[in-house]
Structure 1
Amino acid sequence: MKKILTMLLTLTAMSGMNTSFAESVPWAVVVANTRGADTLTYDHLSTECAWQGLALPDDVLTALGDPRQIVVKVGDLPENVKVSVRPGRTDGVVGLKITRTDKSQAVRQMGRIILTNPATGYSYTVQAMVVGMEVAAN
């Protein structure tokens, strides 16, 4: 009984740590990356699209510097999900292109997106839901 109680307390503490980490990473503001005047916001990033981006605070954009220098990495997503930076078409937006190497695998998962300027070492991390529907192989 003592072993079970100890295990349950350990698991409870570990789940609390994961929650606090998730809460410490800000949610991404996902917007359409278009030249239009309308700023459409979304509750997720869609795979196989290149028309979405992240609206970032001015101080973050300044610290990241030249968008052509930004390197993007992802965490907590399947290995077949790839994210790359595209030119921003809207002021204050870093454009993203999200693809999957295997479209037959659906994805609906919270992930971390880490934007870094390797020249300055500045890095900014957000979390966002990434969604891609299963596509049947032909």
Structure 2
Amino acid sequence: MAAAASPGVYARSEVCHATSEKEVAALFDRWNASLQSGDAKKVVENYAAKSILLPTVSNKPRLSAAEKEDYFEHFLARKPVGAIDSRNIEIDCNTAIDAGLYTFSFADGTAVHARYTFTYKWDGKRWAITSHHSSAMPEHN
């Protein structure tokens, strides 16, 4: 008689897509380059169909592609350029997390320093953002 699986233990049958910290870091560069296009649709293409955006300069969580596109249309009007200040990358089987601090500089000369977390999932063809949280730094120096 076969032994029963322990409760809460699942066998993994998926094949893990190999990646590196350098490749995960490049996913931010891909996203940031899409910001430079000025096209909200191009930015939203970085996100998985089932994903959440908790944006830097909006209180509303964005779940659908249309909601994300609406946010980025307004955000892109400011001509943002993102730069990573510090980061921590973790990699697992077909998932990755990139979290840290970044700064957005805008065409009007202003900037916002923020905390971020991007989670990514390999969908069999590409890495897509499954969650993106960004919030302005709470303490001003």
> TM above 0.5, one fold?
no
Higher relative contact order (CA closer than 8 Å, sequence separation 6+): 1
Q: TM-score of the superposition, structure 1-length normalised?
A: 0.30
